[in-house]
Amino acid sequence: MAVYVANLIINTDSDYVQTFTLEDATSNSELDLTGYTVAATMRKWPGAKDNAVGTVDFGTTITNTTGGQLELSLTDTQTAALKDGRHCYDIVITDASGVKTRVVEGSVIVSQGVTR
């Protein structure tokens, strides 16, 4: 499966939600996510330690199992703690047998707001 690149913009002090629809490369239809789990992390740079400033695990939800849809989310409290600037992220799905596949990756621009 090819890794899809999608760049994101996250505003600090705001709730964030992004929906993705994954496709099966062989059939060109939605990927059936039955039995899968999802994880997604954002870091200031790929090698940043887990507890580094700017590292956050997205909330992940499979919103339509047979339709290949999943959702990433952050609360306003989580986005308030982010440093502005460029970050990177990826989304990894794990099937029922434990095989992990990175399906989406990209850059994140964190934009600091004025209103708190």
pLDDT digit string, tens, across residues 71-114:
999 999 999 999 899 999 999 999 999 999 999 999 999 999 77
Main-chain phi, psi angles of 7, to 5 degrees: -90, 140
Q: Which residue has the higher pLDDT, 2 or 89?
A: 89
Evaluate if residue 70 carries a pLDDT over 70: yes
In a domain, 53, yes or no: yes
In a domain, 111, yes or no: no
In a domain, 76, yes or no: yes
Q: Look up the CATH number of the domain holding residue 75.
A: 2.60.40
For 110, the token pair is: 């964190």
Please tell me the distance from the alpha carbon of residue 24 to that of residue 2, in angstroms, as a whole number. Answer: 10
Evaluate if residue 35 carries a pLDDT over 80: yes
Please tell me the distance from the alpha carbon of residue 16 to that of residue 18, in angstroms, as a whole number. Answer: 7
**What is the domain extent for residue 35?**
4-100
Q: What is residue 14's DSSP assignment?
A: S
Please tell me the distance from the alpha carbon of residue 93 to that of residue 36, in angstroms, as a whole number. Answer: 6
Predicted local confidence at residue 15, as pLDDT: 96
Q: Is 4 exposed, middle or buried (0-12, 13-18, 19+ CB in 10 A)?
A: middle
76: enclosing H helix or E strand: helix 76-80
For 57, the token pair is: 């695990």
| Mean per-residue pLDDT of the chain | 92
Predicted local confidence at residue 91, as pLDDT: 98
In a domain, 91, yes or no: yes
Main-chain phi, psi angles of 77, to 5 degrees: -65, -40
In a domain, 114, yes or no: no
Side chain identity at 42, as an amino acid letter?
Answer: M
How many domains are there within the chain? 1
In a domain, 25, yes or no: yes
| Per-residue pLDDT band at 38 (split at 50, 70, 90) | very high
In a domain, 115, yes or no: no
In a domain, 92, yes or no: yes
Q: Which whole number is the average pLDDT over 15-39?
A: 94
